Each structure stands twice: as C-alpha cells, then as structure tokens.
Structure 1
Amino acid sequence: MASDPIVYVIDDDESARHSLEFLLDVAGIRVRSFSSADAFLKSSPPLAGACVVTDVRMPGLGGVELVEELRRRGNSVPAIVVTGHADVPLAIQAMKAGVTDFIEKPFDDEAILGAIRQALARQIGDEGAQAERLTVLDRIATLSPREHEVMDGLVAGHANKAIAYDLEISARTVEVYRANVMMKMQAKTLSDLVRMVTITRITVQ
C-alpha cells in the first residue's frame, strides 16, 4: 500500500494538466501527471492508494477507454473523468466502465478536490459507495410516479420535448417536473443526476 495517497492526472492539455497539478500541490495531495493514457499505461505506476483524473477526449485512448482498460487488467483504481460537454450517453458509458465521478468543465476547485478526496477515501473500502447508493435510493423514493418517469427520460438522454411527447404532457410541465427532480435528488447538473441513478443500477451485482 502506498504510504500516502497519490493522484495521477492524465490530460493532453498541458495548461489544464499543470493547473490541476498546482491545485493538488497546494492542497497537500501528491500528484504525478501524464500527457496521454498510453504514457500512463506504459509507465505502470503503483495504483495502491491512488486515484486517476483524466480527460474524456484525448489522442489515443480516451478517459473512458483508459478506465475500461484498467478494469480489464484487474485494476479497480478510482477514476474521475472530466468532460467539456454534458454528454448523457457518454456519462452512462463512463459509470458502467467503473468511473467514480463524471465532472463537467469548467469545474470549481472545491468540486474537483471534493471528488478526488472522496475517490481516495473509497480506497479504504466499499462502505462509502454503498452508503451513497442507499442515500440516492432514499432520494428516488421521494419522487412522484410522474417525476420518476421524467427522471428516466432525462437519464436516457431525451430532450424535454421528447419526454413531453412520450408522456403526453406539455414541455412546460416537463420543465416543472425536471426542476422538482433536480431539487429532490440534490443534483446540481444533469451529469450529476445520471451518475446518481447509474450507481443505483450497477453497484450491486
């Protein structure tokens, strides 16, 4: 086991990479960066007590593909994928690949640090992940049947108008239900909502 937690930052964007390195240094968290997923895999750094932060789109292997490759090799290191766009299908793919968190750019410094600290804490065991799953299930239980239907549409990547058509209600009514869902689920973004719902569906085998 590593003596101290370490974060591996993998991003082809040099300025973004250095910015995150600086943020982690100031926060007192050990960090090592790589310009590509291929360079990271070739280096084979120790993953005990580690966390990976990677961009979703890079030359060669992208962030989600990197996580899938690590899982294929039997490594369950927590991974945070950063994206410039709220791509719901990609978020679902990322969560199914085993990504711990899916964060949209531009992100707040405290948001990324919080996600990294939570990911590092999960290395201790699965208790935290199970507790989070139960919390999300409790929030889902507060939704009305119609709110649940709207949430399912959102998580499937459907636009408000498509959800309105499917449920035979107005787009304005969908917006109201959508706002209620986001509030009850305590989701700040659509990607946040997708992540929550996905962990309730795939955490338990």
Structure 2
Amino acid sequence: MSEPTVFVVDDDEGVRDALALHLELAGLRVRTFPSADAFLAVVGAGDRGCAVLDIRMPGMDGLTLQKEMVRQGITLPVIIITGHGDVPAAVTAFRAGAVDFLQKPFDEDRLIDRVREAMERDARDRRQRQEQDDACQRAAALSPREREVMLLIAEGLSNKHVALRLDIGVRTVETHRARVMEKMGVGSVSELARLALLLAD
C-alpha cells in the first residue's frame, strides 16, 4: 500500500514548488503534477493522502478533475486552491466533496492544518471502508435465517422476543445466535450491533 502523500496539481511551477516546500518542511510526503492528465496517469484508487487542486488550469480544471477522481474511484479528500475565489466555484467544489477551498495567497499554516485534517479523514474513511468490507464478507457466510436473527439481536431483542418474531423456538434462536457470533467474529451483542450498522450503510 502506498505511503500517505499530498498530491499537488497546479499548472504554475512556482506555486507547485512553493507548496511542495512548505508541505515537505511540515514533514509531509509530496508529489506534484503540472496538469490533471499527469495526475490521473499516475494516481489511482489505492493511493492514500489528499489532493490539493488548482481550480483554474489549462485543459481539465480542478473542478472537472475532482469529478473525474470520483468517477475513477479515487477517494482522496480534495482541497481546492485558486487565485479566483468565486463563490459559485467554492459551492460546486464543496458539493462534490472538497474539504476546503483556499484563495491565493493563502496562509501556509492554514494550508498545512487543512492538509493534515484531510489526511486524517482519508485514513479514517479507509479504515471504515475496510471494516465494512470485512463485515460484508463475514455476513455473506450467514444463512438467510442467521441474518434475520443477527438483525433482530442487533436491534436489542432478547432470544425470547426473536423467537416470537420469527415464530421459532428459543433453543433454535440460541443455536442461530451462537453461529452468528462465531461467523461474524464477535464476542458481544454491542460488537454485533456495530457490525450490523456498518452493513446497513
């Protein structure tokens, strides 16, 4: 898996170099690209970190690149930078999922803070997606009846109430419950409820 990186995309070489210098001095790993196409040729869905995109570039601009990233499954959080901080562009960027919109010239400390927040968000989102994928794989091993039992237990129903709801015996519920706990790899109802919530997302 790739090391978390700040991917800077800006057609202005001076801006790219200045951003890279500030971010590297803050201890961050940085890769720069002069265009959206150069970025897309290298970066993929498995890359971690965040993307800092200039909004105005020849060819594909930052907002279009942001949409293309979503289309290609590149889930990096996006920070949009521009010398033309118009409100409609900011609204479009936020609607598409940008975590911030900074107007040049911007405060380097603020940029570094926003980049760190974006990288933490990326790490958190990836952990949650991995946990969700793992829960889905485990849930695939459940029979339809075990799945029903799991969802009812996760809602907080007792074995007796699950039995009444499904019109089966309490001993049968206990057997299904034990299998569910084993297959889902959990030791408590609270853990099971958390996984059931992940599966519902």
State the TM-score, normalized to the length of structure 1.
0.58
**C-alpha RMSD over aligned residues:** 1.7
Q: How far apart, in 2, do the equivalents of 1:17 and 1:124 lie?
A: 24
Structure 1 counterpart of 2:76: 77
Q: How far apart, in 1, do the equivalents of 2:123 and 2:20 lie?
A: 24
SS class of match (2:85): coil
1:9 aligns with 2:13: no
Higher-RCO chain (CA-CA 8 Å, sequence separation at least 6): 1
Unaligned runs of 5+ in 2: 126-200
Structure 1 counterpart of 2:100: 101
| Contact 1:64 1:99 survives alignment (8 Å) | no
Q: How does 1:16-31 map to 2 (within 5 A)?
A: 16-31=15-30
Bigger Cα Rg: 2
Structure 1 counterpart of 2:122: 123
Structure 2 counterpart of 1:38: 37
The amino acid across from 1:5 in the alignment is P
Question: Closer, same or farther in 2 for the Cα pair 1:47/1:87, shift >3 Å?
Answer: farther
SS class of match (2:81): strand
| Contact 1:12 1:35 survives alignment (8 Å) | yes
Question: Closer, same or farther in 2 for the Cα pair 1:40/1:103, shift >3 Å?
Answer: same
Moved over 6 A (4+): none
Structure 1 residue 22 displacement after superposition: 0.7
Structure 1 residue 26 displacement after superposition: 0.9
Structure 1 residue 98 displacement after superposition: 1.5
The amino acid across from 2:32 in the alignment is S
Q: How far apart, in 2, do the equivalents of 1:23 and 1:105 lie?
A: 14
| Contact 1:68 1:98 survives alignment (8 Å) | no
Deviations 1:136-163 (A, max 9, x none): xxxxxxxxxxxxxxxxxxxxxxxxxxxx
Structure 2 counterpart of 1:185: none
Structure 1 residue 48 displacement after superposition: 3.1
Q: Larger deviation: 13-22 or 82-91?
A: 82-91
Q: How far apart, in 2, do the equivalents of 1:47 and 1:104 lie?
A: 29
Question: Closer, same or farther in 2 for the Cα pair 1:14/1:47, shift >3 Å?
Answer: farther
SS class of match (2:119): helix
Q: How far apart, in 1, do the equivalents of 2:41 and 2:123 lie?
A: 26
Unaligned runs of 5+ in 1: 127-204
| Contact 2:45 2:72 survives alignment (8 Å) | no
Aligned residues: 126
1:67 aligns with 2:69: no
Q: How far apart, in 1, do the equivalents of 2:26 and 2:95 lie?
A: 30
